[in-house]
């Protein structure tokens, strides 16, 4: 590295972001590799849920689809990311440990955009109570719930 090292020209927040991703891997005892960093950077930068195809696009050639699926499975098994399907069965991933507050998803029926939303606490508590009623009437144990909103997004409703 010369006196005007390339690193000096990198935006500080990019360095911070990479460092944060590196730390997430280290904290979970996952060996640090470039593709894992790239995936975490993309998920952290975009905050909301992302379709696998969008991750590929955002990686600008740095992630191959086969290795991406391997990394997703690995990080999912470690509960670092969670995975769900859109109503048309597209796989969507999001960070779970970093942003672990309970939330729900909105899907655009037209373009497939995915977004997060949260119910207010009272509604969540009432939902949990209702679920307990359902558990006893159906003799089941409910492990989790999710609420999906099918929508036309701001772009598509025009």
- Residue 156 binding Zn ion, by CB under 5 A: yes
Tell me the window of 4-12, 60-68, 76-84, 149-157 that interacts with Zn ion (CB under 5 A): 149-157
- Residue 55 binding Zn ion, by CB under 5 A: no
Member of 26, 111, 123, 150 binding Zn ion (CB under 5 A) = 111
- Do the Cβ atoms of 104 and 149 come closer than 8 Å? yes
- In the complex, the smallest distance separating the C-beta of residue 60 from Zn ion, rounded to whole angstroms, is 24
- In the complex, the smallest distance separating the C-beta of residue 113 from Zn ion, rounded to whole angstroms, is 5
Which residues, at least 6 apart from 52, have a Cβ–Cβ distance to it below 8 Å? 65, 68, 69, 72, 90, 91, 92, 93
- Residue 153 binding Zn ion, by CB under 5 A: yes
- Residue 100 binding Zn ion, by CB under 5 A: no
- Percent of the chain as helix, strand, coil, to the nearest 5: 45, 15, 40
Q: How would you write 1-60 as a 3-class SS string? A: CCCCCHHHHCCHHHHHHHHHHHHHHHHCCCCCCHHHHHHHHHHHHHCCCEEHHHHHHHCC
Tell me the window of 14-22, 70-78, 84-92, 101-109 that interacts with Zn ion (CB under 5 A): 101-109
**Local structure of 158: helix, strand or coil:** coil
- In the complex, the smallest distance separating the C-beta of residue 118 from Zn ion, rounded to whole angstroms, is 8
Q: Residue 33: left (phi > 0), alpha (psi -120 to 50), or beta? A: beta
Q: Which two tokens stand for residue 75?
A: 């990080």
Nearer to Zn ion, 62 or 109 (CB): 109
Nearer to Zn ion, 85 or 110 (CB): 110
- Residue 114 binding Zn ion, by CB under 5 A: no
- Residue 149 binding Zn ion, by CB under 5 A: no
Q: Which residues bind Zn ion (CB under 5 A)?
A: 108, 110-111, 113, 153, 156
């Amino acid at each position: 590295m010369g006196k005007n090292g390339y690193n000096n020209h990198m935006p500080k927040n990019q360095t911070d972001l990479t460092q944060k991703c590196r730390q997430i891997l280290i904290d979970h005892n996952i060996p640090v590799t470039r593709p894992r960093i790239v995936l975490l950077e993309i998920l952290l930068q975009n905050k909301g849920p992302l379709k696998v195809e969008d991750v590929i696009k955002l990686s600008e050639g740095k992630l191959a689809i086969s290795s991406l699926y391997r990394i997703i499975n690995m990080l999912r098994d470690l509960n670092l990311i969670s995975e769900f399907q859109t109503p048309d069965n597209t796989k969507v991933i999001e960070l779970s440990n970093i942003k672990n507050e309970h939330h729900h998803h909105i899907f655009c029926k037209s373009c497939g955009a995915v977004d997060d939303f949260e119910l207010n606490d009272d509604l969540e508590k009432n939902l949990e109570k209702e679920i307990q009623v359902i558990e006893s009437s159906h003799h089941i144990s409910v492990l989790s719930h999710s609420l999906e909103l099918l929508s036309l997004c701001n772009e598509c409703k025009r």
